Amino acid sequence: MFLGFGHQPRIGVTEVGALCVDAFFVLSGFLVTRSLLRLSVPRYLRHRALRILPGFWAVMLLSAFVVAPLMAVLAGRGATTVFSGPDSSFGYLVQNSALLMRQFGISGLPGDGGNPDVINGSLWTLFYEAVCYLLVAGLGVIGVLRRRPWVVLALIVVLGGLTLASEVGINPLGSSYMLRFSFVFLLGAAGFLFADRIPVNRWTALAGLAVVVASLLVMNDWRGVGGPAFAYLCLYAMVRLPAPWEPRWDLSYGMYVWHWPIAQLLVGFGVRQYTHVPFVLLTVALAAGMAALSWNLVEKPAMRFK
């Protein structure tokens, strides 16, 4: 809804979309830690690169050479105007190819919508995801994950304290995003490391939900108090909620990297005039289709090299 209409639901001052990203990092921390403990560090790094980079590069290429020219046409410009001048399609690829997003728009496009000049605003989190992969790899190399898992808890305490300090404007890490994502990622990692000691029951989940809601309503950065409870809820949902079917295709990554440019194109086509529900449903349907193509043509073939 943000791209089409300039707003999205909030709980307190926190956007629901930000909560979804935090949940992704919690679950990623859990699953990636499990992966590292089953593999050598070099093989783990190869697996992570094969999972994240091919899909990223595919959406970058198509954004530069298909999405941006189409946006230019919708804006009344020539399709080839995106290939020259400041912030061209070629610059977009060069600037962003290593995951760190340094150029968000292409040739001034998109020029409309909830977030103009941003072709794909989802991709910026992937850099922090990769840094968290390296963080876990480093902990694996020095033997923390296997022999001294309590160090992860100590890091969580430190990061939680820094998160609380950020409430009053103190952030020694210099990046609020790095603090945020490393904190919730390590909470997920701790969930795996201490899985046999964490009770999984509905009463604990309800108490955690109360803590999360209260912290969202009264704090600017709710994670300092509500982060551990939120991580517990994510992991509780993963292991307790029934799955209606076993999916054959993993569309989660493709949905994440494709929904933004698709929504921007729908803005260009004027779909938002039909109000929120049709816009959101069409975005989800088209993103799912692109995610299916991404999985079958890019992601799954790449992972065969594991």
What is the tens place of the pLDDT at every residue in 38-91?
999 999 999 999 999 999 999 999 999 999 999 999 989 999 999 998 899 999
Question: For the packed helices 223-240 and 150-166, what is the interaxial angle rounded to 10 degrees?
Answer: 130
Beta carbons of 43 and 77 less than 8 angstroms apart: no
Q: Please enumerate in sequence order all residues whose Cβ is within 8 A of that of 248, keeping only pairs 6 or more positions apart, or say none.
A: none
Q: How far is CA 127 from the centre of its chain?
A: 10
Give yes or no for residue 135 having a pLDDT over 90. Answer: yes
Q: Tell me how far apart the alpha carbons of residues 55 and 291 are, in angstroms, rounded to a whole number.
A: 10
**Residue 145 φ then ψ, to 5°:** -65, -35
Q: Tell me how far apart the alpha carbons of residues 110 and 264 are, in angstroms, rounded to a whole number.
A: 7
Q: Please enumerate in sequence order all residues whose Cβ is within 8 A of that of 14, keeping only pairs 6 or more positions apart, or say none.
A: 216, 222
Peptide bond into 110 cis (omega under 30): yes
Give yes or no for residue 1 having a pLDDT over 60. Answer: no
Give yes or no for residue 4 having a pLDDT over 60. Answer: no
Q: Please enumerate in sequence order all residues whose Cβ is within 8 A of that of 298, keeping only pairs 6 or more positions apart, or say none.
A: 54, 55, 58
Q: How confident is the model at residue 122 (pLDDT cuts 50, 70, 90)?
A: very high
The per-residue pLDDT for range 178-206, each reduced to its tens digit, is 999 999 999 999 999 999 999 999 999 99
Q: Share the mean pLDDT of the chain.
A: 91
How much of the chain, in percent, has pLDDT values that exceed 70?
Answer: 94
- By CB neighbour count within 10 A (0-12 exposed, 13-18 middle, 19+ buried), where does 204 fall? middle
The per-residue pLDDT for range 30-51, each reduced to its tens digit, is 999 999 999 999 999 999 999 9
Beta carbons of 87 and 281 less than 8 angstroms apart: no
CA 54, 56, 61, 62 dihedral sign is positive
Give yes or no for residue 298 having a pLDDT over 90. Answer: yes
